Structure 1
């Protein structure tokens, strides 16, 4: 089945964003932006859970309870993601673990609510507690989302509520708008994760010393 013309650039953008994020997480290199490969070490568990400021939201063991400002740890298994609605304002800074889990859950959930059993819930999603598990979960979810999109024709792209994912506006939106939204989620959270990796590598904040001193 051929990909609709208006879907093709969104799929290409997703592919680029996904590859760049994965390379930024596991290396061995990432494109600097001008074609030069820059060495990247694999994400460690310490970095995955690093909280650069007080009051961060992260993923935590259920036995330890929610972090500051959170009212619940969402997810199944040993670990959960800080959450609670309505979200506090201003929004808390979130760790790499939180952002990566958010992306993976969103992608897995939307894949299921597009062509799967329409049964995915945040509460039943198993939250990864280590860097390796977090990256692997993201990769699986990204592949699942990419695969279901290849079966979307123009009629599906125009259908309102084709995705029934319950944690967004999907039920009120044409599928093409959901596809666009997922791309921007990947791109902006991917950029945030890359920045956190830069800050972690720079060191002073991790050691409790203000930057620039």
Structure 2
């Protein structure tokens, strides 16, 4: 499918960021930055839940309740993600589980509220309690968001409130601003996940 000149650079950035994060999570290799590939082991459940400092926010069994500083566990089902009505300051350190779950949830929710039936609700969202399931969910969510981006007519790019996603400022933003915001979410959380993976290797030695 042809993309127009306004969406193309954002889409290229998005594709690079999602592919980079997937290879850092599941390998088998990742570009080291100097043109050579390094081996990347698949993310394990132990690493997925690893808490590098005290009072981390994570994905937890609902029966155990929220972690330190959290008020609730977001979503439905047996597991949920630590959260609070207002983001605390300073923000807590979060696990790979928390970060990956957060990214996937926003991708799924925004795709539904931009190009779907607009029924997505955090109250029915279910967090994944395993690394393999979380990676697959991110892969699915990323593909779904990309498909929705391609379905938006260029005439709507500057329209405010095109997305009705209720857990951000979407009602006040244009399409291109939302696309940019979702890109930077994947870029910065992806970098944080990559750093946690590097730290985990040294922690385990």
Both proteins in one fold, TM over 0.5: yes
Aligned to 1:137: 137
Instruction: Tell me how far apart the structure 2 counterparts of residues 126 and 96 of structure 1 sit (CA, whole Å).
Output: 16
Q: What displacement does 1:89 show?
A: 1.2
CA distance in structure 2 between the aligned counterparts of 1:160 and 1:132, rounded to whole angstroms: 37
1:44 corresponds to: 44
Residue 108 (structure 1) aligns with: 108
In 2, the alpha carbon distance for the partners of 1:2 and 1:171 equals 28
Partner of 2:200: 200
Cα distance in 2 for residues equivalent to 1:123 and 1:135: 21
Q: Determine the C-alpha separation between the residues in 2 that align with 1:186 and 1:156.
A: 24
Looking at structure 2, the residues matched to 4 and 25 of structure 1 have their Cα atoms a distance apart, in angstroms, of 31
Q: Which runs of 5+ in 2 are unaligned?
A: none
Q: 1:153 offset after TM fit, Å?
A: 2.4
Distance in 2 (CA, whole Å) between partners of 1:168 and 1:87 is 12
Indicate the structure with greater helix content: 2
1:88 matches 2:88:
yes
Q: TM-score, normalised on structure 2?
A: 0.97
Q: Any idea what SS the aligned residue of 2:124 has? A: coil
Question: Contact conserved, 1:4 with 1:153, CA < 8 A, in 2?
Answer: no
Matched, 1:23 2:20: no
Q: Describe how 1:110-189 pairs up with structure 2 within 5 A.
A: 110-189=110-189
Residues paired across the two proteins, number = 205
Distance between the aligned counterparts of 1:87 and 1:114, measured in 2? 25
Point out 4+ residue stretches in structure 1 off by more than 2 angstroms: none
Equivalent-residue separation in structure 1 for 2:197 and 2:122 (angstroms)? 26
CA-based RMSD = 1.1
- 1:50 Cα deviation (Å)? 0.3
Contact preservation (8 Å) 1:3, 1:152: no
* TM-score (normalizing by structure 1): 0.94
**Matched residues in 2 for 1:150 and 1:16: separation?**
16
